[in-house]
Structure 1
Amino acid sequence: MNKFYTFFILLLAGCFISVYAKGYDDVAVRDTNEVKKLNTRAYDNRLTNPQQTVEDAAAALAIAEKLPDELKYKKFLGESYRIKGIGNYYLNQSRAAIDDYLKARNVFREIKDLRSEAKVNNNIGNLYLDSDYGKALEYLNSSLQIAQRLSDQQLIGSSYLNIGNVYYRKKSFYQALSYYDRGNAIFSKIKDSVNLIQALQNRGVIYFNIRQFDKAEQLLLAANKAAKERDLNKPVASTNLTLASLYIAENRFEDAERIVQEGQAYSLAVKDDKLASDYNYTIYQLELKRKNYERALHYLQVIFQQDSTIHISNESTQINIIQEQFKQEAKERDNALAAQRQQNDRIKFWAVTVVAGLLLVVIALLMNNVKRKTATNTQLTALNAEVLRQKDNLDRVNHHLEEIIDERTKDLQIKNKKLSEYSSYLSHQIRGPIATLRGLMNLEKEGLVDEKECINMMDKCVSDIDQKIIEMSEMLNDTSKTVF
Structure 2
Amino acid sequence: MVLRIFLILLTVSTVAFGVTKEEIDRQLQKAWQMYEKGKYVSMEKISKKVVQESKGINYPKGIAEGYYYIGIAYFMRGKIDKALEYANLAVDFSQKHNNYRWKAYSHTLVGEILRYLGKYDKALYHFKISLQLAEDNKNQKMLPAAYANLGNIYFDRKEYDKAIKYYLKGLEIGKKINIRPSYIALNSYNTGIAHFRLKNWDNAVKYLQEAYKIYIQLGDKKSAVSSAYFIAKSYYLAGDYWKAKQVVEKNTPLAKQVLQYRKFKKLLNKINRKLKENEAV
TM-score, structure 1 normalization: 0.44
What does residue 121 of structure 1 align with? 107
What does residue 143 of structure 1 align with? 130
Find out whether 1:286 has 2:272 as its counterpart.
no
Q: Give 2:165's aligned amino acid.
A: S
Q: How does 1:78-227 map to 2 (within 5 A)?
A: 78-86=64-72, 89=75, 94-111=80-97, 113-129=99-115, 131-193=118-180, 194-227=182-215
Are the aligned partners of 2:54 and 2:62 in contact in 1 as well (CA < 8 Å)? no
C-alpha distance in 2, partners of 1:23/1:168?
47
Deviation at 1:204, TM superposition (A): 1.8
Paired residues in the alignment total: 254
Q: Deviations over 1:339-388 (max 9, x none)?
A: xxxxxxxxxxxxxxxxxxxxxxxxxxxxxxxxxxxxxxxxxxxxxxxxxx
Q: Tell me how large the CA RMSD over aligned residues is.
A: 3.8
Q: Give 1:31's aligned amino acid.
A: E
C-alpha distance in 2, partners of 1:221/1:117?
35
Cα distance, 1:137–1:219 mapped onto 2, change above 3 Å: same
Q: How does 1:20-419 map to 2 (within 5 A)?
A: 24-25=16-17, 27-42=19-34, 45=36, 51-52=38-39, 54-55=40-41, 57-69=43-55, 73-86=59-72, 89=75, 94-111=80-97, 113-129=99-115, 131-193=118-180, 194-230=182-218, 235-236=223-224, 238-240=226-228, 242-243=230-231, 245-246=233-234, 248-249=236-237, 250-251=240-241, 252-253=244-245, 255-256=247-248, 259=251, 262=254, 266=258, 286=267, 289=270
Are the aligned partners of 2:196 and 2:234 in contact in 1 as well (CA < 8 Å)? yes
> What secondary structure is seen at the aligned counterpart in 1 of 2:95?
helix
Are the aligned partners of 1:201 and 1:223 in contact in 2 as well (CA < 8 Å)? yes
Cα distance, 1:93–1:185 mapped onto 2, change above 3 Å: farther
Deviation at 1:283, TM superposition (A): 6.2
Q: Give 1:162's aligned amino acid.
A: N
Q: Give 1:34's aligned amino acid.
A: R
Deviation at 1:206, TM superposition (A): 2.7
C-alpha distance in 2, partners of 1:164/1:182?
10
Cα distance, 1:99–1:221 mapped onto 2, change above 3 Å: farther
Larger Rg: 1
C-alpha distance in 2, partners of 1:76/1:231?
34
> What secondary structure is seen at the aligned counterpart in 2 of 1:171?
coil
C-alpha distance in 2, partners of 1:197/1:286?
24
C-alpha distance in 1, partners of 2:91/2:163?
28
Deviation at 1:161, TM superposition (A): 0.9
What does residue 6 of structure 2 align with? none
Between 1:225-234 and 1:196-205, the stretch displaced more is 225-234
Unaligned 5+ runs, structure 2: 1-13, 274-281
Are the aligned partners of 1:34 and 1:60 in contact in 2 as well (CA < 8 Å)? no
> What secondary structure is seen at the aligned counterpart in 2 of 1:67?
helix
Task: Give me the identity figure in percent.
Answer: 20
Deviation at 1:91, TM superposition (A): 6.0
Deviation at 1:59, TM superposition (A): 4.9
Deviation at 1:127, TM superposition (A): 2.8
What does residue 482 of structure 1 align with? none
Q: Deviations over 1:174-232 (max 9, x none)?
A: 22221111111222233221322221211222333344434433432332342354455
Q: Give 2:107's aligned amino acid.
A: N
TM-score, structure 2 normalization: 0.69
Q: Deviations over 1:156-177 (max 9, x none)?
A: 3322111111222333322222
Are the aligned partners of 1:28 and 1:68 in contact in 2 as well (CA < 8 Å)? no
> What secondary structure is seen at the aligned counterpart in 1 of 2:55?
coil
> What secondary structure is seen at the aligned counterpart in 1 of 2:59?
helix
